[in-house]
Amino acid sequence: MKTPNLKRIVIPSLVLVVSAVVLPTMRASDEKPDAETRKARREAEVLKKYDANHDGKLDDAEKAVRKADKEKARAEREARKRERAEQEAAQEQEGR
């Protein structure tokens, strides 16, 4: 009976040990930021975009601009949604 080659045992074992140590460490560094971090980042982006007078807060006029942008984006999403629904209905009609 042959004895197993040392390379056939050691190398796979090393690969398993290294992956068991390295992969969880890599995954921990790729985790998403927590909710507070995301909220702070979003608030900073909003201030950067809408704070016209650069005072660090949004006044009523700046809030109105932000609201108008949000409503415009919502209207565009709804229009795209309706358009997709109409295309799907047309395709369904053609299929009948």
Closest among 66, 73, 64 to 50, alpha carbons compared: 66
Q: Is residue 60 part of a domain?
A: yes
- The lowest-confidence range among 3-7, 29-33, 92-96 is 29-33
Is residue 10, in this structure, part of any structural domain at all?
Answer: no
The domain of 91 spans 36-96
Lowest-pLDDT choice from 13-17, 48-52, 59-63, 82-86:
13-17
pTM of the model: 0.56
**Number of domains composing the chain:** 1
As a whole number, mean pLDDT of residues 17-22 equals: 80
The answer to the question of residue 79 being in a domain is: yes
Phi, psi of 57 (to 5 degrees): -150, 160
Average pLDDT over all residues of the chain: 86
Domain assignment present for 93: yes
